[in-house]
Amino acid sequence: MPLQTSSPVLPSDTTGATDNLRGIILMALGFFVFAAADAAAKVLTQSLHPLEILWFRQSGLFTAIVIYILMRGTAVLRTRSPKLQIARGVTATFSAVFFLIGITYVPLADATSVTFIAPFMVTVLAALILRESVGIRRWTAVGVGLVGVLIVIRPGMGVFHPAIVFVLMAATAFSLRQVLSRMLSGQENIMTTVAYTSIVSFVLACIGLPFVFTMPDTPQQWLAIGIVAVLAATGEYLVIRALDIAQAVVVAPLHYTIILWSTGYGFVLFGDLPDGWTLLGCAIIVASGLYTLNRERLAARRKARD
C-alpha cells in the first residue's frame, strides 16, 4: 500500500480463503499501478502544488464512486459510524498531502521505504487506543523496524533531508487511518468505507484548491494528471478486489513489492537509485514488518479459537 491509497486494510482474520492466487496477482498489480501513480505525481510536484495534485488524483476515484452510486443506488452511503468514516477520510487526506510534499524533495524509493514504518506505528497505536495486547516479540519487531528507518534516513550523517519529516507525518496519519479501519472492520461494507474516504478527501481537497490552484498549461502536465487519476482509481479497484476474493493475511505482504516498483520508476524517470544503506534499512523494515504481520495472524487465529 502506498500511503495515499484509500482502500481499507482489513484485519487478518476477516476473510476466508476463496481464491488466494488470483488475490496475490491482483494485489501485486495494484501496487505496481499505485507506484506508477506515485511516480507520475512526483513529476507533477515540480510544477503543481501537492494539494492540487491530490485533487486531480481523487477526482478519478470520486468519479468512479459517483458512477457506482448512480448504478447501485445510495445504499452504499448507509453507515453506522459516520464520525469514524469522516475521521478516516480526514486522515487519508492528510496522509496523501504529506506524502506528496515529501516526494517533492525526497527520492521516491527512499520515501516509500520510510512509509513502511506504518505497521509498527499501527501496533503502537492499537495498543494505546484499542487496548490490544502486544507481546514482547511484536514490541521487539517495532524496535528493529525503527532501527531500519534510522538507517534509511541517517540523521546527522549528511543525507537527511528535512522533507523526510513530511513522509513520517504521512506514515503517522496513515497509521491512524489503519486504526480507524480496524474499528470499522466487521460493521461496515468495504465499498461504504471507500466511498466515504473518497468523498471526504475530495471535499477537503476542493476546499483548499482555490488557494493553490495553477492551471496546467502543457500537454505533458495534462497527460501526467490523467495518468495519476486513472491509475489511482485502477489501483484502488485492484486492491479492493484482491481483499474481496482472498485472505488478507495472504495478500497483505504484497504491499512491500511497491519498493521494487518505486525504485524502478525512480531510476527510469529521475535517475535515482537507493544506496546500499537505504537498501539495508529497507530490508530490515520489510523483514520486521513481515514478522509483525505473521504475529498478528497468529494472534487472530488464537482469538478465533477462543
Local confidence pLDDT in tens for the 306 residues of the chain? 454 444 444 444 444 445 778 888 888 898 899 999 999 999 999 999 999 999 999 988 898 899 989 999 999 999 999 999 999 999 999 999 999 999 999 888 888 888 888 777 877 887 788 777 777 877 888 888 888 888 887 765 555 678 889 999 998 998 898 888 878 877 778 789 889 999 999 999 999 999 999 999 999 999 999 999 999 888 888 887 887 777 766 777 777 888 888 889 988 898 887 888 888 888 888 888 788 777 766 766 776 666
Residue 270 forms part of a structural domain: yes
CA 33 from centre of chain: 13
- Rounded Cα distance between 96 and 144, Å, is 26
Residue 127 forms part of a structural domain: no
Look up residue 156 and give its amino acid. G
> Are 277 and 147 within 8 A, CB to CB?
no
Residue 45 forms part of a structural domain: yes
- Rounded Cα distance between 290 and 235, Å, is 22
Q: Report residue 287 as a C-alpha cell.
A: 523483514
296-to-98, 136, 191, 194 alpha-carbon distances in Å: 28, 13, 24, 24
Residue 192 forms part of a structural domain: yes
Residue 87 forms part of a structural domain: yes
Confidence (pTM): 0.82
What range does the domain containing 197 cover?
A: 20-107+160-274
Look at residues 223, 241, 91 and name the one whose alpha carbon lies nearest to residue 169: 91
Q: Report residue 89 as a C-alpha cell.
A: 477520510
The total number of structural domains in the chain stands at: 1
Sign of the dihedral defined by the CA atoms of residues 180, 184, 190, 193, in that order: negative
